[in-house]
Every structure is written in structure tokens, then in C-alpha cells.
């Protein structure tokens, strides 16, 4: 009996030693990183690879250019990506390259000192103009290099516009857009309701648009009077039945892709990331929609197009054991070759050049009209929300109040007043 007890203690002790050994390896930076020779396996944290084909396209192109480096993707569910990466880094994970899904996440990791300084890759940039680098500036230092730059455009269904005998939405104002939404609402041949437009449930549809197009507006300021017109517009559209109501979209988890691809809506403000999605859906025969893109509607009747969006970037984990190879990957992703690899599947690269744009519109299935090309070159792309140490807290409040306004629990004025008082009280104080 005693022997068994001893064996049990021994086993438990062995177990605890193993666990202790696991724990102690975390946190420390690797000692040797300079010497890298022979084949390297580079791990890259990405999200939902099967729905985000750009990653595979980029990896294939990179491996072809650098045969002695192989990429090992670390695939993470898109919805849980920031939380998962936070937990990984807290546990001393050594995944070499981390994709920065949003600027807010980036400023958090960079602020904690979890990312390697890659300023030289951004400042000495050989291939031309790299868009969207401003958001990554942390007091003159850069800890990530953008490789794609998305911005919002107005998608529209050409067939539905033609059937209604309306002109395509060429540089329209928000009022004209609401007018079009009214005229385009109706029923299709099968008796299914067709909405004039579709606003997805994200707060940026309303808030980032208003911030980008109103002088001096700032979503971090605690003053939100500038949101009123845009909210009145979008609440009005759903109240009149010209847009699918928010409650239904939210409780039914309506996919914006389905709305547009099944031709249940004639217009839809959405980011350029969706272009690759439509191209794929049409290629697979899942949709027959005849589509085009137009510049985002504007507050005033001007020729200038101001829209909003955000870059996506790669960063090097400070705990990486292959920092040189990782930096090579970052440089490649931002280069002309990297840009070509992702634009070939309809993704908008951060690198801006006429070559890339020309190649982009030469893609099979891309609309080739002038309006679409104009939509693709907006005059100004504002950040959806500025990255800062209060962004995450403000974001939560803005989301909650947006929710209440859109489901009709609060009037627009009440919602805006509550945003102001909560942000001032809980965050700015």
C-alpha cells in the first residue's frame, strides 16, 4: 500500500515538474537570431484561411521567390483572432509573423512592446507609395508594415438599376442615395422583396462615414453631434422599409454577401475586401449579380470623394526565432510582387501604382466601366477610428449605443447624448 502511495506521489511530482518546465520557457526573447542558414520554417498567424484566399496567394508567391523558406500558417477563426493572439503572446508564443487585423489591436500589441521594430522597412521603401502607413506610426517608429488597404465604396446592382430606369449612382449625395433607395425598393419576379439598399449592422456604416465627411469630427472626442444626420438617414431608411431593418439583420445573422449576391438589395455600402468575395461567388456560379462600384455617397454635392477604411499589416513577434526571415516576408508582402499576388485575386494592396490598378481591373469578372475605376481611386481615405490607448474603450460604448439606436430602443438624440455622457464619464475622465 505504501509503495502505491509513493508511486502516486512520484507520478504527481513528475507531472508538476513537466508543467513547471513548460511554464518557464515563456517570455524570454531568443538569444541567437542573427545566424540563419539553411531552410527556415516561418509560422504566420492568419484568420479563416478558407474564406480569406489572399493569405494562400501571398504564401505561394513568397515560397516561389524564396525557396529555402517555407510558410507554416497558424489558422485562427476570424471572430476570435484578436483575443487568441493576445492569449498566445501572453503565453510566450513564438509564432514569427502576426497579421494585424485592426489598428486598435496593433496599437495594443505595439504599446505592450510585443512587436519587433520594423521602421526601416517602412521608411526605406523601394517600390513606390505604400498607403496606410500613417496609422502604424508610434512616435516615429513602426512595428508593422501594411500590405493591403481597404476602403469603403458603394456596390450596386446594374440589373436592378436598369430595370428601374435609373442612372447608376455617379457621385451622389446621401440625400440622393436615400432617394434612389426609395425608388429601387420593390419586389422581384418571384415575389421576393427587394430593398433599395442594405446597411450592415456594423457601427462604421454610420459612424465612420459621418466622421470622414464632417470637418473636425472625431469619434474619440466625446462630442458626437456630427453623427445625427447620418443616423437620421439610416434609421429613416429602415423605418420606411427601403433597407432591411437592423433587428432582423442582427438576430438572423444576415450575411451582407447573401444580401447582395441573391439580389435582395440594389445598393450596399461596403469595404473593398468584398470585391474578391463577389469575384469568387460569380466564378463558382453561386451568384449571377451584375455589379459595379461607385464612390461612397457624400454629405455635400462635391466632386471630391472622401471615404474611410483601414489598412491590414504584418508584424514580427518580438519572441520570434526567425526575425530575419520574418522581415523578409514583411518586405515581400508590401512589395510590387506581393501586391501583384494578392491583387490577382481581387484584394486591394497597400502599394499604390498604376501597374497594380491596371492589373486589378484586368481581372476576369471585374467591372470595367469608368465609374468603377473612379470609385477605386478616392481622393481621401480617413481611418475608421484613430488608434490610441482609449480606442478600445470608446469602441465598446459606441457599439452599444449604436445597437440601441438601430433597434429603436433609443431615439437618435438620446443615443448620441448617451454616447457623449458615457465616453466623457467612463473614458475621458
Interface ranges with other proteins (CB under 8 A): 1-2, 4-5, 8-9, 11-12, 15-16, 19, 82-83, 86-87, 89-90, 108, 112-114, 245-248, 250-253, 392-393, 396, 400-401, 403-404, 407, 409-410, 426
| Cβ-based nearer residue to other proteins, 98 or 371 | 98
Cα–Cα distances (Å) from 11 to 1, 6, 15, in that order, read: 15, 9, 6
Minimum CB distance to other proteins, residue 388 (Å): 14
Minimum CB distance to other proteins, residue 356 (Å): 35
Minimum CB distance to other proteins, residue 25 (Å): 16
Q: 3-state class of 44 per DSSP?
A: strand
Taking the C-alpha atoms of residue 281 and residue 262, their distance in angstroms, rounded to an integer, is 11
Cα–Cα distances (Å) from 205 to 87, 175, 209, 212, 218, in that order, read: 30, 16, 6, 11, 15
CB atoms < 10 A from the CB of 58, how many?
27
Minimum CB distance to other proteins, residue 13 (Å): 8
Minimum CB distance to other proteins, residue 27 (Å): 8
| Cβ-based nearer residue to other proteins, 54 or 96 | 96
Answer yes or no: are the C-beta atoms of 251 and 232 closer than 8 Å: no
Q: At what angle do helices 174-184 and 228-239 cross, to 10 degrees?
A: 10
Radius of gyration of the chain (CA): 24
CA 353 to chain centre: 21
Helix (H) or strand (E) holding 58: helix 54-65
Taking the C-alpha atoms of residue 212 and residue 384, their distance in angstroms, rounded to an integer, is 8
Minimum CB distance to other proteins, residue 215 (Å): 30
| Cβ-based nearer residue to other proteins, 359 or 404 | 404
| Cβ-based nearer residue to other proteins, 180 or 194 | 194
Q: Name the phi and psi angles at 147, rounded to 5.
A: -125, -20
| Cβ-based nearer residue to other proteins, 282 or 410 | 410
Answer yes or no: are the C-beta atoms of 26 and 91 closer than 8 Å: yes
Answer yes or no: are the C-beta atoms of 421 and 398 closer than 8 Å: no
| Cβ-based nearer residue to other proteins, 123 or 421 | 421
Minimum CB distance to other proteins, residue 16 (Å): 6
Minimum CB distance to other proteins, residue 12 (Å): 4
| Cβ-based nearer residue to other proteins, 30 or 365 | 30
Kind of pairing, strands 40-47 and 97-100? parallel
Minimum CB distance to other proteins, residue 425 (Å): 8
| Cβ-based nearer residue to other proteins, 344 or 404 | 404
8-state DSSP, 243: B
| Cβ-based nearer residue to other proteins, 214 or 247 | 247
Minimum CB distance to other proteins, residue 320 (Å): 15
| Cβ-based nearer residue to other proteins, 19 or 362 | 19
What DSSP string describes 246-261?
HHHHHHTT--HHHHHH
Comparing CA positions, the residue from 311, 310, 324 lying closest to residue 118 is 324
What DSSP string describes 317-336?
BTT-S-HHHHHHHHHHHHSH
Taking the C-alpha atoms of residue 119 and residue 137, their distance in angstroms, rounded to an integer, is 9
Answer yes or no: are the C-beta atoms of 122 and 313 closer than 8 Å: no
Comparing CA positions, the residue from 348, 359, 374, 346 lying closest to residue 279 is 346
Please, what's the b/e burial string for 103-138 (b: 16 or more CB within 10 A of its CB; e: otherwise)?
Answer: bbbbbbbbeeebbbebeebbeebebeebbbbebbeb
| Cβ-based nearer residue to other proteins, 11 or 362 | 11
Minimum CB distance to other proteins, residue 1 (Å): 6
Amino acid at each position: 500500500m505504501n509503495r502505491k502511495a509513493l508511486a502516486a506521489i512520484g507520478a504527481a511530482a513528475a507531472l508538476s515538474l513537466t508543467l513547471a518546465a513548460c511554464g518557464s520557457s515563456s517570455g524570454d526573447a531568443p538569444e541567437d537570431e542573427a545566424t540563419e542558414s539553411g531552410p527556415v520554417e516561418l509560422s504566420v498567424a492568419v484568420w479563416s484561411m478558407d474564406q480569406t484566399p489572399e493569405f494562400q496567394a501571398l504564401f505561394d508567391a513568397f515560397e516561389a521567390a524564396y525557396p529555402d523558406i517555407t510558410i507554416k500558417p497558424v489558422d485562427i477563426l476570424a471572430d476570435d483572432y484578436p483575443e487568441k493572439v493576445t492569449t498566445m503572446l501572453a503565453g510566450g508564443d513564438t509564432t514569427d509573423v502576426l497579421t494585424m487585423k485592426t489598428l486598435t489591436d496593433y496599437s495594443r500589441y505595439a504599446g505592450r512592446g510585443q512587436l519587433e521594430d520594423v521602421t526601416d522597412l517602412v521608411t526605406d521603401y523601394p517600390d513606390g507609395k505604400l498607403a496606410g502607413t500613417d496609422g502604424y506610426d508610434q512616435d516615429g517608429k513602426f512595428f508593422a508594415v501594411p500590405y493591403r488597404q481597404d476602403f469603403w465604396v458603394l456596390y450596386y446592382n446594374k440589373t436592378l438599376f436598369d430595370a428601374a430606369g435609373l442612372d447608376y449612382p455617379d457621385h451622389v449625395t446621401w440625400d440622393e442615395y436615400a432617394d434612389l433607395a426609395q425608388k429601387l425598393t420593390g419586389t422581384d419576379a418571384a415575389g421576393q422583396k427587394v430593398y433599395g439598399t442594405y446597411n450592415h449592422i456594423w457601427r462604421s456604416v454610420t459612424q465612420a462615414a459621418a466622421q470622414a465627411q464632417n470637418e473636425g469630427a472625431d469619434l474619440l472626442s466625446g462630442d458626437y453631434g456630427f453623427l445625427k444626420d447620418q443616423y437620421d438617414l439610416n434609421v429613416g431608411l429602415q423605418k420606411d422599409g427601403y433597407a432591411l431593418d437592423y433587428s432582423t439583420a442582427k438576430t438572423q445573422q444576415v450575411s451582407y454577401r447573401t444580401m447582395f449576391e441573391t439580389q435582395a438589395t440594389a445598393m450596399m455600402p461596403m469595404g473593398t475586401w468584398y470585391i474578391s468575395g463577389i469575384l469568387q461567388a460569380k466564378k463558382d456560379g453561386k451568384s449571377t449579380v451584375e455589379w459595379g462600384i461607385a464612390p461612397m455617397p457624400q454629405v455635400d454635392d462635391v466632386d471630391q470623394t472622401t471615404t474611410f477604411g483601414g489598412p491590414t499589416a504584418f508584424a514580427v513577434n518580438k519572441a520570434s526565432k526567425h526575425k530575419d526571415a520574418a522581415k523578409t516576408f514583411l518586405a515581400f508582402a508590401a512589395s510590387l510582387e506581393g501586391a501583384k499576388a494578392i491583387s490577382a485575386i481581387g484584394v486591394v494592396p497597400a502599394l499604390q501604382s498604376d501597374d497594380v490598378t491596371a492589373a486589378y481591373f484586368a481581372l476576369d469578372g471585374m467591372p470595367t466601366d469608368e465609374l468603377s475605376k473612379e470609385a477605386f481611386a478616392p481622393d481621401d481615405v480617413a481611418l475608421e477610428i484613430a488608434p490610441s490607448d482609449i480606442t478600445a474603450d470608446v469602441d465598446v460604448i459606441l457599439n452599444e449605443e449604436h445597437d440601441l439606436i438601430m433597434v429603436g430602443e433609443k431615439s437618435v438624440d438620446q443615443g448620441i447624448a448617451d454616447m457623449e455622457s458615457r465616453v466623457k464619464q467612463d473614458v475621458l475622465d
